[in-house]
Amino acid sequence: MIWTKDPTRLMLVASLAISYALVCLAPYLRTRRKRAAAQRARAEAAATPGWIVAYASQTGNAEQLAAQTLATLRLAGIAAQMSELSELRADDLQRAERILFLVSTYGEGDAPDAAAAFAGRLMTDSLALPRLHYAVLALGDSAYGQFCGFGRALDQWLQAQGAQSLFPRIEVNRSSAEAIGAWRQQLSHLAGTSDAPDWSAPAFADWRLAERRLLNPGSAGAPLYHLELEPLDGALPAWESGDLVQVSAPSDPERAREYSIASMPADGRVQLLVRLHTHADGSHGAASGWLTRQAALGQAVQLRLRQHRRFRLEDNAQRPLILIGNGSGIAGLRGHLKARTASGRARNWLLFGERNEAHDYHYRDELAAWQLHASLEKLDMVFSRDQPARRYVQDSLAEQADEVRAWVAAGAAIYVCGSLDGMAAGVDAALAAALGRDALDQLAAAGRYRRDVY
Ligand SMILES: Cc1cc2nc3c(=O)[nH]c(=O)nc-3n(C[C@H](O)[C@H](O)[C@H](O)COP(=O)(O)OP(=O)(O)OC[C@H]3O[C@@H](n4cnc5c(N)ncnc54)[C@H](O)[C@@H]3O)c2cc1C
Ligand SMILES: Cc1cc2nc3c(=O)[nH]c(=O)nc-3n(C[C@H](O)[C@H](O)[C@H](O)COP(=O)(O)O)c2cc1C
């Protein structure tokens, strides 16, 4: 070809070719640069997380408010993640710039069960947290001596580590709508949005009191009733074993009372076990008196279902279960035993305490049938007053420490339902003696030690 011999032409063609190549390559290079920048931003975002919404909850109030807090932040375009308090490590606290803590108080001023390890592991140490900005929503009930005890302790500890509070701690007495409104307002202000989603709790509905049966005639203890309820209108809503209902009593509609559900949806009704509470002056408790004495059969009761995630089977559905309880606590355990029987899971050990075999052996025939059909592998009924020396469920546990260790080594999860006074603390001590306190805390943090105690 002629033109290839002409150096000027050659140069011209070469430079045209290079320019053309550059024009073609430019979009590709731009895309590559953009991709690299996005990758860098993602890596930086992972290294410095946005906001963290951390919660510690026993029966789900704080967890639900945490989910609503997270939704509000995300709606405002803020990158946020939700985490159970026990999942936070020291370096998460040190790296984070903003954490919103929503925590309730249990026992006598204690952390909820799942946060016991956090309280024991981190809050006993000092940790420099100069970067951290935080806020605390503390849930509690002023009827208890240590009102919002854990929320207050957490706030004080954070301050002592040099963390900066975004606004003063907000304390919520008995789910006070006013205090929750104040938290929502602070949140909208921080997030720069007035567009917060609806936080109102689901409404109560009318349920018909369909059956009521005294379970313990002649008992030395207070009367205990088996109740059955069905929705007045519409279909039975879904629930899982471990869930609760809230009942609003006509004489105290401001303060709903909680009851463990003792049935499964397949039973067609919500079944409850309610102990009649009598005050020192002889008057009856607002909710238990209403449910067991005042409300007539067929009458409407204001009720709503409440998920109780911390007491559900969830990941433990495949594990052996040790179910421990006393008194009305058989309600929550019966729900689990029904679910286990329905799913064909037979490795269940029930340890249950009451006063006298003659009057207080609740659901005796049902338990016997479950034993016969092998859905209840091991049953220990402990009657405290049937022998000269008092004997409780925790005594039986202590005597069977080897068996407890063997079940836990085989992967068992432990569920405790019933009295906080006496039973829950005694059972906790017996379990800690059998397994070691650290191991028990780890089981709680892993969701393998769950309690519904009141
Ligand atoms: C998670 C959970 C599950 C539960 N499950 C069951 C169950 O399955 N079965 C069951 O029988 N019970 C259960 N309970 C207990 C139940 O919710 C009620 O507390 C119980 O029935 C007593 O309520 P009451 O309205 O009859 O008595 P109340 O009228 O509430 O009186 C009970 C006591 O509460 C105190 N009290 C009441 N009102 C106030 C007030 N305004 N200020 C200060 N102190 C006050 C008093 O000390 C009083 O003696 C559960 C509780 C929780 C938290
Ligand atoms: C057995 C029991 C013990 C409690 N102890 C306390 C307490 O010591 N101090 C307090 O302020 N509130 C106490 N409360 C009230 C709870 O903190 C309150 O009901 C809170 O809303 C529960 O939130 P949660 O569902 O997230 O756990 C207790 C409640 C129960 C049922």
**3-class DSSP state of 192:** coil
- Tokens for 376? 């209840």
The atom number, within ligand 2, closest to the CA of 453 reads 1
Its pTM stands at 0.83
The atom number, within ligand 2, closest to the CA of 56 reads 26
Cβ contact 101:157 at 8 Å:
no
Task: Kindly report the protein residue whose alpha carbon is nearest to atom 5 of ligand 2.
Answer: 106
Buried-exposed string 83-114: b where 16+ CB fall within 10 A, e elsewhere: bbbbebeeeebeebebbbbbbbbbbebbbbbb
Which is more confident, 282 or 120?
282
Residue for token pair 């004495």: 293
pLDDT in tens, 12-58: 656 656 655 555 555 555 556 655 655 554 454 444 458 999 999 99
Bridge partners (DSSP) of residue 111 are none
pLDDT in tens, 93-112: 999 999 999 999 999 999 99
**For residues 200-208, average pLDDT:** 90
Ligand 2 centroid vs 341 CA: distance in angstroms? 32
**Distance, CA of 434 to CA of 123 (rounded, Å):** 26
Residue for token pair 């008995």: 174
The atom number, within ligand 2, closest to the CA of 142 reads 11
**For residues 154-168, average pLDDT:** 97
Ligand 2 centroid vs 148 CA: distance in angstroms? 8
- Tokens for 9? 């032409």
Which residues are near ligand 2 (CB < 6 Å)? 57-62, 104-109, 112, 139-141, 144, 146-149, 175, 420, 453-454
Which residues are near ligand 1 (CB < 6 Å)? 59, 143, 244, 257-260, 273-275, 277, 279, 285-289, 328, 331, 452, 454
Q: Which of 308, 302, 303 is nearest to 240 (CA)?
A: 308
Instruction: Spell out the residues 6+ positions from residue 18 whose beta carbon is closer than 8 angstroms to its own.
Output: none
Instruction: Spell out the residues 6+ positions from residue 2 whose beta carbon is closer than 8 angstroms to its own.
Output: none
pLDDT in tens, 324-364: 999 999 999 999 999 999 999 889 999 999 999 999 999 99
pLDDT in tens, 241-258: 999 999 999 999 988 999
- Residue 339: count other Cβ atoms within 10 Å of its Cβ: 18
